[in-house]
């Protein structure tokens, strides 16, 4: 049954990513793929919160960890799209943009996960 919930949550995460990323990219023009950056940073924060809440048993059922963490966050975030966006920029005339996107996402993602773990431990 857990596998079914993970699949359903992953689908919801993918739809949420599509809608939010499309909205961000249509409203803001940035040298880096801003929608992808925001999605992956927010997903890292959410996964940190979910993980901390599950590890600390803070009113958070272990049965929710896999569907929300692996399913929703896995469907919501996307390493492959981030990699392709970085490679497209780096292979073109925008090597600095590619490097900025890659490093910015890695640093911001880890910091967001740390923040999520810290906040989730205090709830």
Parse the chain into domains and list their residue ranges: 2-122
Whole-angstrom distance, CA of residue 54 vs CA of residue 64: 8
Q: What is the dihedral of CA 99, 80, 5, 23, to 10 degrees?
A: 70
* pLDDT at 16 exceeding the cut of 70: yes
Q: Any known ligand binding at 74?
A: yes
Average pLDDT, the chain: 90
**Share of residues in the chain with pLDDT > 70 (%):** 97
pLDDT of residue 74: 95
* pLDDT at 17 exceeding the cut of 80: yes
Structure tokens at 34: 């801003």
pLDDT of residue 122: 81
62 or 91, greater pLDDT: 91
Question: Is the CB of residue 44 less than 8 Å from the CB of residue 112?
Answer: yes
Length of the chain: 123
Q: List, for residues 27-76, the tens digit of each pLDDT value.
A: 998 877 889 999 999 999 999 999 998 888 766 777 888 999 999 999 99
Question: Is the CB of residue 89 less than 8 Å from the CB of residue 81?
Answer: no
pLDDT-based confidence at residue 112 (cuts at 50, 70, 90): very high
pLDDT-based confidence at residue 8 (cuts at 50, 70, 90): very high
Query: Dihedrals φ, ψ of 121, to 5°?
Result: -80, -20
82 or 45, greater pLDDT: 45
Q: Any known ligand binding at 98?
A: no
Measured from the Cβ of residue 53, the count of other Cβ atoms closer than 10 Å reads 23
């Amino acid at each position: 049954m857990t596998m079914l919930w993970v699949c359903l949550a992953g689908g919801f995460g993918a739809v949420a990513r599509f809608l939010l990323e499309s909205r961000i990219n249509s409203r803001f023009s940035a040298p880096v793929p801003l929608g992808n950056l925001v999605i992956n940073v927010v997903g890292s924060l959410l996964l940190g919160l979910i993980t901390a809440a599950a590890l600390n048993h803070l009113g958070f059922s272990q049965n929710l960890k896999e569907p929300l963490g692996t399913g929703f966050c896995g469907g919501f975030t996307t390493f492959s799209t981030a990699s392709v966006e970085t490679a497209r920029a780096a292979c073109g005339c925008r090597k600095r943009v590619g490097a900025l996107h890659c490093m910015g996402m890695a640093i911001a993602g880890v910091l967001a996960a740390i923040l999520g773990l810290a906040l989730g431990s205090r709830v």
